[in-house]
Copies of this chain bind each other. A is one copy, B any other.
Amino acid sequence: MEVISEKDEMRGIVERAKAGGLTVGLVPTMGYFHEGHLELMRRARAECDLVVVTLFVNPTQFAPGEDLEAYPRDFERDRGLAEGVGVDYVFAPEADEMYPAGSSTRVEVEGLSGVMCGRARPTHFSGVATVVCKLFNIIPAQKAYFGQKDAQQVAVVRRMAADLDFPVSIVPVPTVREPDGLAMSSRNVYMEPDEREQAVALSESLAAARELVESGERDAGAVAAAMRDVFARYPAVELEYISICDNIFLRPLDELEGQVLVAVAARVGRARLIDNMLLDVK
């Protein structure tokens, strides 16, 4: 496995691989790998000839006052983990390689970026869409792998890629969970032990929603109420939103029908956590 820090070198490797008939899989990450990241890499490894993982804590998707500086980093550990699952290249540029002085272009995905997490983080998805657009040009892979845990990010990236005609397939990969159900996240390390115990509220609320829908409930308000009942049992967990919406435009639904995204966000101590599930409602 090789670590690359320059854009032109990285693009050259990918272009030569493609010219030789290989399929390239891209796994964009901010590092500090957990099983969720490794699952993306394994999936890419299984489906592609060449696997490139990017490791870049992207400053433009953090707002002032968010956790850019505190965001956990451990490059040596990450390098070993990536190598362990058979990654071919890690692209780890410095910030000024990605954003040289004078950069001023922003990619905005309207509608999808302002709802759900976009309310608390109004500039976040523009930062995501912009850096992913850049990564698609630096690593013109045929497939790009994103964790379904970040459901809104998947929707924004899929919309951006389609709208800007990037010839790449966006592959969402199911969320990997801790034994008690907590979705894996680099930000889980921000929690104190007692907070960590209560963080199960998110996945439990989703399980409650699933049970209710499976028993025939189709009213979004009733499902959300049952979810709030779960959160009420965990006082250390401050619910930010429950969203019950379609999975393409992220528009809130009154009645559950078709592919439904049920998503939650909550603060637990210093951590802001998100989780979601997709339901196919007949």
Interface of A, secondary structure class, is mixed
A16: shortest Cβ distance to chain B, in Å? 12
Contacts of A19 in B (CB 8 A): 19
Contacts of A159 in B (CB 8 A): 102, 104-105
Identical copies of this chain, number = 2
Give A138 to B104 CA distance when docked, in angstroms.
23
Asked if residues B110 and A106 are in contact (CB atoms below 8 Å), the reply is: yes
What string of 1s and 0s marks CB contacts (under 8 Å) between A84-111 and chain B?
0000000000000000001111111111
Asked if residues B105 and A160 are in contact (CB atoms below 8 Å), the reply is: yes
Flag whether A187 is at the interface (Cβ < 8 A).
no
Of the listed stretches A161-169, A171-179, A270-278, chain B binds: A161-169
Give A109 to B130 CA distance when docked, in angstroms.
11
Give A106 to B138 CA distance when docked, in angstroms.
20
A residues near B, CB below 8 A? Answer: 7, 11, 19, 102-112, 129-130, 133-134, 137-138, 159-160, 162-167, 248-249
Given A134-B164, A164-B134, A167-B137, residue A106 in contact with residue B104 (CB < 8 A): no
Give A166 to B138 CA distance when docked, in angstroms.
8
Asked if residues B104 and A109 are in contact (CB atoms below 8 Å), the reply is: yes
Give A194 to B112 CA distance when docked, in angstroms.
51
Contacts of A106 in B (CB 8 A): 107-108, 110
Asked if residues B102 and A110 are in contact (CB atoms below 8 Å), the reply is: no
Contacts of A167 in B (CB 8 A): 11, 137
Give A111 to B160 CA distance when docked, in angstroms.
22
Closest to A248 in B: B102
Give A106 to B110 CA distance when docked, in angstroms.
8
Closest to A110 in B: B104
A204: shortest Cβ distance to chain B, in Å? 34
Contacts of A108 in B (CB 8 A): 105-108
Q: List, sorted by A's number, 26 A–B pairs whose CB atoms are closer than 8 Å.
A: A11-B165, A11-B167, A102-B159, A102-B248, A102-B249, A103-B162, A103-B163, A104-B109, A104-B111, A104-B159, A104-B163, A105-B107, A105-B109, A105-B129, A105-B160, A106-B107, A106-B108, A106-B110, A107-B107, A108-B108, A130-B164, A133-B164, A134-B163, A137-B165, A137-B166, A138-B165
A215: shortest Cβ distance to chain B, in Å? 33
Pick from B110, B111, B137: contact of A164, CB under 8 Å: B137
